[in-house]
């Protein structure tokens, strides 16, 4: 019996560490919403501006639609800077994130930036009277997509924001992950979560990845280097190893967003981002020079009005807030949650996927479930 390609890592019996939340997704963190707009059109020879199109936009709202403008403590980290994530200099300055996050393709950052501003003007006009510095991130989908065709517009970004909701999160070739490749297989979006018990209280760490990195020979699953043993013939070309028809190994980038409801300060959020590479390494990558590996973490625990807005005249004692944060000597469980959650999110991005043919008949095969399980002895 053929195993369905829409099943996640745990669904096919992969034994992964940690206890996930009810959705095993970044939306297990209360308030977080995720939305998509997917663009798939055309086939055959590339004609810039016409297609084929294999792209889209993913939107992540840290406090949901109603909470835009209310800051989360936040930080970010670049393992390798061959990529882009806007808004990070302001995050460095104040340790806060107040805007939605969008993720798309490399040449769509400007369109997403404009779309977020337009959307905030419409949905939150009071916030729009001040400066808006959206976080817009990217990975490269030019192997499958007409990346120079301008198909992602501000309207596409607005549609992704309008689609944002809580609950289960779609994975694989959807939204910004539509045209991505990972470890020489079809890549895209993946998510996971971990629950952490502290006495009577339980915190959640949620992870979202847009996976577009790694060479096939690197792919490691549950500690076994399976990529070098997996061969997938190209149904469109008998000479399936022809150079211009292989998804570029090691190039492309990976964006990772980490969310939690634990009370962390900005320095602790940065500590979480620095553990993301531990999870990526568990899937085999060594970090390619041509891969922009950029990560952001935020804590949605302290829901309050922004402290960076233009102040009114005078100052009141109520503006000086005292906040409790997680003790540093209790952070190890959060580090584990990030590393394990990132590993599972990458595997979900690979497993919940289908073969895709893009521009110039470039082909990206889905990671085959049955051969993988056979190599793992399952």
CA-closest candidate to residue 274, choices 77, 20, 139: 77
252 sits in the region (left: phi over 0; alpha: psi -120 to 50; else beta) called left
Residue 261 annotated in active site: no
> What is the distance between the terminal CA atoms of the chain, rounded to a whole angstrom?
14
Catalytic residue among 173, 291, 299, 364: 291
Rounded Cα distance, 87 and 136, in Å: 7
Catalytic residue among 104, 141, 293, 364: 293
Rounded Cα distance, 337 and 258, in Å: 10
Rounded Cα distance, 226 and 30, in Å: 36
Residue 355 annotated in active site: no
The stretches of 193-306 forming alpha helices (DSSP H) are 266-273, 276-282
Would you state the structure tokens that stand for residue 163, as one six-digit string?
A: 């689609």
| Cα torsion through 60, 335, 274, 99, rounded to 10 | 20
The DSSP bridge partners found for residue 198 are: 201
* Burial of residue 378, with CB atoms counted within 10 A of its CB: 0-12 exposed, 13-18 middle, 19 or more buried: exposed
Catalytic residue among 253, 288, 299, 364: 253
Residue 299 annotated in active site: no
Torsional sign, CA 309, 77, 30, 103: positive
Kindly report whether the peptide bond that precedes residue 85 is cis, defined as omega within 30 degrees of 0: no
Q: What Cα–Cα distance (Å) separates residue 318 from each residue in 295, 307, 321?
A: 34, 12, 7
The stretches of the chain forming alpha helices (DSSP H) are 88-94, 109-123, 125-128, 154-162, 266-273, 276-282, 332-351, 369-375
Which residues have a catalytic role annotated? 253, 291, 293
């Amino acid at each position: 019996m053929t195993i369905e390609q829409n099943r996640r890592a745990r669904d096919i019996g992969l034994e992964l560490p940690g206890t996930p939340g009810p959705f095993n997704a970044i939306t297990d963190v209360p308030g977080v919403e995720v939305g998509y707009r997917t663009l798939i059109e055309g086939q055959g020879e590339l004609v810039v501006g016409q297609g084929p199109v294999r792209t889209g936009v993913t939107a992540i709202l840290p406090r949901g639609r109603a909470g835009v403008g209310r800051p989360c403590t936040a930080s970010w980290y670049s393992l390798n800077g061959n990529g882009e994530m806007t808004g990070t200099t302001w995050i460095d300055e104040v340790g806060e994130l107040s805007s939605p996050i969008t993720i798309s393709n490399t040449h769509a950052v400007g369109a997403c930036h404009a779309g977020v501003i337009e959307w905030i003007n419409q949905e939150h006009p009071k916030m729009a009277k001040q400066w808006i510095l959206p976080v817009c991130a990217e990975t490269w989908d030019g192997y499958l997509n007409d990346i120079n065709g301008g198909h992602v517009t501000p309207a596409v970004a607005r549609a992704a924001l309008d689609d944002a909701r809580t609950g289960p999160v779609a994975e694989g070739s959807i939204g910004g992950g539509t045209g991505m490749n990972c470890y020489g297989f079809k890549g895209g979006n993946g998510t996971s979560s971990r629950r952490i018990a502290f006495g009577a209280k339980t915190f959640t760490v949620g992870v979202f990845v847009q996976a577009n990195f790694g060479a096939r020979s690197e792919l490691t699953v549950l500690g076994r280097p399976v990529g070098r043993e997996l061969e997938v013939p190209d149904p469109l070309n008998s000479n399936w190893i022809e150079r211009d028809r292989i998804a570029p190994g090691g190039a492309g980038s990976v964006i990772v967003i980490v969310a939690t409801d634990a009370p962390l300060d900005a320095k602790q959020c940065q500590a979480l981002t620095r553990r993301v590479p531990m999870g990526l390494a568990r899937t085999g990558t060594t970090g390619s020079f041509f891969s922009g590996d950029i990560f952001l973490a935020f804590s949605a625990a302290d829901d309050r009005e922004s402290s960076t807005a233009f102040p009114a005249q005078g100052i009141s004692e109520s503006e000086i807030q005292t906040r409790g944060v997680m003790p540093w000597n209790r952070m190890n469980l959060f580090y584990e949650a990030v590393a394990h959650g990132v590993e599972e999110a990458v595997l979900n991005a690979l497993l919940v996927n289908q073969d895709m043919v893009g521009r110039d008949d470039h082909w990206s095969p889905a990671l085959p479930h049955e051969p993988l399980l056979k190599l793992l002895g399952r």
